Amino acid sequence: MALWKRAGKYYVKLTAPDGTLIRRSTGTTDRLKALEFHDKLKAELWDLARLKQKPKRTWDEAALRWLKEKAHKKSYRDDVSRIRWFTRHLRGKTLDQVSRDMIDRLISRHFARKSDRTKDLYVALIRAIFRKAMREWEWIAHVPAFKTYARSGRVRVRFLTHDQAAELMGRLPEHQREVVLFALSTGLRQGNILHLRWDQVDMTRRIVTIGYGETKNGEALGVPLNEAALGVLRRQKGKHPVHVFTFRGKRLANANTRTWRGALKACGIEDFRWHDLRHTWATWLRQNDVPTWVLQELGGWKSESMVRRYAHMSVKHLQPYADQLILPGTDPLINPVTDTKKSNCPEKLESPGHKNGHSESRPRLKLVAGLDVNS
């Protein structure tokens, strides 16, 4: 039996019949009561083992195991911060005591002024922990239906016009202007740009290679370079032996600076984040009729659904189908205004041969892929 004191309270550590190591607070500063808690907990674990029931696990145990298993995550620091916040409210509670209403009250009260997106990030984490506790750890039988705050189906796509982008870059210092121009030319995320090294650049083949584990989805990505991107790289050449984007001899650590935000404000550009430069790049490509499957490869998105947010930016491929619609009483090519006062049905148009005594009707014009086949 292990019994120790921390911050005035006793804690116990024991091994369950299934071999699981249990650490738990006794909630008391009295050693005799702590010993009594230990004996009672051990007896409960043996009873559960004989009855083949799952022991009740606490939030603290789930949070600790999650952090151990997810230490490789790129968003690990965010997980630590959010778990620390949840632990302030859920410490010592068993997982079956945590309900949808409890989490909803906590988030609604403490994040009343936060966006729905921020609330959903916290909910997504606790939902993921509970799912893992059910599906992999087999600690619980079901997951509470935690509330989602943002309206489903609403995707934020914020982008700049070409004039706005030009004005914004004109207000930025040179080292930041080059980074923004490179982002608009390649669609790379801020982290990939700021950490870009010369050994990832092949200017002869006009490509930048982002290796495995360096992208958001963990997959390698080859990014073709257009003339604007190559121009940025040529101007950066020789400034640093390792890193591409630097400031005063050191790697540029952050692009979302006070100067960046000041330039946005001076241009009257509101509700715009640095990551929205990637949205701008994707939007401009779609507006120039780049297919979504090409855009998906260029941007390194795993799922087509991530690219569908830009689909409405170009409908040129749908135009031939819209042209196939023929309205009653109209010519599909010239759309004359017909007189409908005499009859609800349009009058029959006379063919050029009608005046010569012929009764054949006028041949109907058809459209094939938007082209006049009679021309």
| Distance spanning both ends of the chain, measured CA to CA | 94
Residues 35, 4 contacting (CB under 8 angstroms): no
The owner of tokens 């702590």 is 34
Q: What letter does residue 185 receive in the DSSP assignment? A: H
Active site residue 239: no
Q: Which residue of the set 216, 243, 251, 354 is catalytic?
A: 216
Q: Which residue of the set 85, 137, 198, 301 is catalytic?
A: 301
Q: In whole angstroms, give the CA distance from residue 32 to residue 344.
A: 97
Active site residue 251: no
What single letter denotes the amino acid at residue 255?
A: A
Q: Which residue of the set 38, 82, 189, 279 is catalytic?
A: 189
Residues 367, 324 contacting (CB under 8 angstroms): yes
Q: In whole angstroms, give the CA distance from residue 191 to residue 179.
A: 11
Active site residue 212: no
Q: In whole angstroms, give the CA distance from residue 169 to residue 157.
A: 21
Residues 82, 121 contacting (CB under 8 angstroms): yes
Active site residue 56: no
Active site residue 281: no
Tally of helices (H runs) and strands (E runs) in the chain: 14, 10
**Strands, E, within 201-356: which ranges?**
201-202, 207-210, 221-224, 246-247, 250-251
Q: Which residue of the set 234, 275, 308, 362 is catalytic?
A: 275
Residues 56, 45 contacting (CB under 8 angstroms): no
Q: Which residue of the set 10, 139, 281, 310 is catalytic?
A: 310
What single letter denotes the amino acid at residue 268?
A: G
Q: Which residue of the set 278, 279, 281, 286 is catalytic?
A: 278
Active site residue 278: yes
Question: Catalytic site residues?
Answer: 189, 216, 275, 278, 301, 310
